[in-house]
Amino acid sequence: MASNVLLVGKTGQLGWELQWALACLGTIHAIDYPELDLRDQGAVRSLVRSVRPDIIVNAAAYTDVNGAESQTDVARQINAVAPGVLAAELRQSGGRLIVHYSTDYVFDGAGTRPYLEDDPANPVNAYGRTKLEGEQAVAASGVPYLIFRTEWLYGARGKNFLLSILRLAREGKPLRIVADQVGAPTTARMLAESTALALACLTDSDPGAVSGIYHATAAGQASWYEFAKAILEECCALESPAPEWCRRALQSVQPMPSSEYISSARRPAYSLLSTEKLARVFGIAMPHWRDQLRLCVQELQGTPVLS
């Protein structure tokens, strides 16, 4: 049965991928700022009432981790209040399900094994706190929900670590990258495709039976330094011989401790999330982070980013 889907945040790196991944589900109503200002609760309510979606997929977020320390009220309006309003309006209009995205930053990073969905949350920065509040608001709405916690998201578009590393490398800037924070780099495309697979499983079933929080990340682990080095390795492997700027950057990239990284927001040292629940309930297992990276870099081949 075709669904009426409202996608919020269509221009972000995840939202862009979701527009393509969700197309098989039915009619997609995609919207973003400035068409919709998530700080305007009245506008959010009006949108849901006019579209009357079966499913809402909320890919919009305030993602500036450092900025959230000084712009906490704005971050809270977008990351916490707006998701709650979307979910409450969906329930009021008789919708089936809301999909919402959260983050590893709801945890403090003091763990020593991959976090489970029901492990106690303890965010150490304003961004993490507002995202946790968003989870709680969606859950409290009473409508069935899928909250996908992910981490270290990147892609071929938008603003992300991959594109920043490539830009700095091409400019010949020194690369000293934090080596004592561990996570699982995850592409926006793989997260979007996993979302579509999960929703396809619910086409003819009761979403309330699987409503809850799921961790959705790549397999494997890396530090930011290992991630940066792998980015350069994959780029150098695209051509033979490798471009001079890429070889030079790969030879010069250096690890650094997080204590030397200037930041207004604390970041968790350990961010691995267990994806066993996602595999058990939906049969979804994302590829290893290095395989995801290779595909993303290949997508960039021939673009201004690499040429």
List the catalytic residues: 127
DSSP state of 115: B
How many beta carbons lie within 10 A of that of residue 259, not counting itself?
Answer: 7
Give me the count of residues in the chain.
307
Is 148 buried (19+), middle (13-18) or exposed (0-12) by CB count in 10 A?
A: buried
DSSP state of 270: B
Rounded to the nearest angstrom, the gap between the alpha carbon of residue 52 and the centroid of all alpha carbons in its chain is 26
Residue 147: which of 192, 199, 212, 205 has the closest Cα? Answer: 212
Q: Sign of torsion, CA 162 168 171 176?
A: negative
Question: What Cα–Cα distance (Å) separates residue 211 from each residue in 60, 269, 280, 293?
Answer: 20, 29, 14, 30
Q: Do the beta carbons of residue 74 and residue 112 sit within 8 Å? A: no
